[in-house]
Amino acid sequence: MSTDPWLSTWNYHLLQLLFRLIPHSRVTDELCDQLIVNPLLSTWVFAACFYRFWTKDDEQTARRRRYLAGAVFAFGIAGVATLILRPWIYWPAPVLNPRFQPLFPRYLWGNGSANCFPSHSTLAYFIIAVGFWPLNRRLSFWLSGMVVFFISLPRVYEGGHYPVDVLFSCLVGILVLVAVWRCPVFRNLSTRSEGRQSQEAVRDAILFLWTFELGEGFRSVESLVRMARHASRWW
């Protein structure tokens, strides 16, 4: 296992610059903690925007739903791809790396994941943010900024991720989204709302679960994954 990330020196200098501009203190650390653990301050904005654009009923409904469905599809592809990469590309969080630990207050040492590559929070919400680009560029721009400052930055500041983890996630998100948009299957995707009542009920249930998980930062999914891992050890 590599203890240093890609572009290790660049990451180190960028973190140094960040901490010179915003020195660690109890106030800044508490603010970052709140942004990480409190979805109302960050991720629920994405859920609200997604739900509003999906449920709005006008002549553009089919087009909006096609692009939103494309973003969800891209999210799934990117998530699976990065999970496949994790056994071969991985490194511990900065607060677990002896070279990077001195950049952080001692009370943060020992936190973080043994494998922090890439930043899946950034990946998920950056894809959703950029997915709004064909529908509302101003909203897409602001949501992308929210990903950087309210989702990615707090995790980097607290030593949970390196800047390269965030950069890689953003680049992968853009590449996968563009690939989905160019796919002929996406162009022919139909999201008609007509159908039997049972089909509409299933669709509404899926929409509810998706927006809830999007708003909660996929915490329920993470819990299910951890439970599955624990269960697999008994087999």
pLDDT at 9 exceeding the cut of 70: yes
The kind and range of the H/E element at 166 are: helix 163-182
The span from the CA of 85 to the CA of 72, in Å, is 20
Measured CA to CA in angstroms, residue 196 lies from 56, 62, 66 at distances of 20, 18, 20
pLDDT, one tens digit per residue, over 61-87 is: 999 999 999 999 999 999 999 999 998
| Distance separating alpha carbons of residues 147 and 201, to the nearest angstrom | 32
Q: Which domains does the chain have, with CATH numbers?
A: 8-232 (1.20.144)
Sequence-distant (≥ 6) Cβ neighbours of residue 113 within 8 angstroms: 92, 93, 160
Distance CA 189, CA 99 (A): 49
How much is the pTM? 0.91
160/224: higher pLDDT: 160
pLDDT at position 230 is 47
Please state the rounded mean pLDDT for residues 11-37. Answer: 97
Tens digits of residue pLDDT in 113-163: 999 999 999 999 999 999 999 999 999 999 999 999 999 999 999 999 999
Angle between helices 163-182 and 8-21 (to 10 degrees): 110
What is the rounded CA–CA span in Å between residue 41 and residue 34? 8
From CA 15, how far away is CA 100, in angstroms rounded?
9
What tokens does 81 get? 């791809």
Flag whether pLDDT at 226 surpasses 60: no
Of the candidate ranges 4-13, 28-37, 182-191, the one whose mean pLDDT is the lowest: 182-191
Q: Show Cβ contacts of residue 220 under 8 Å, excluding neighbours closer than 6 positions.
A: 213
Signed CA dihedral, 128, 130, 136, 139: sign only: positive
163-182 helix and 120-131 helix, angle to the nearest 10 degrees: 40
Identify which of 232, 234, 46 has the alpha carbon closest to the alpha carbon of residue 143: 46
Q: What is the pLDDT of residues 168-206, one digit of tens each?
A: 999 999 999 999 999 988 877 765 545 566 677 888 888
Radius of gyration (C-alpha) of the chain in whole angstroms: 19
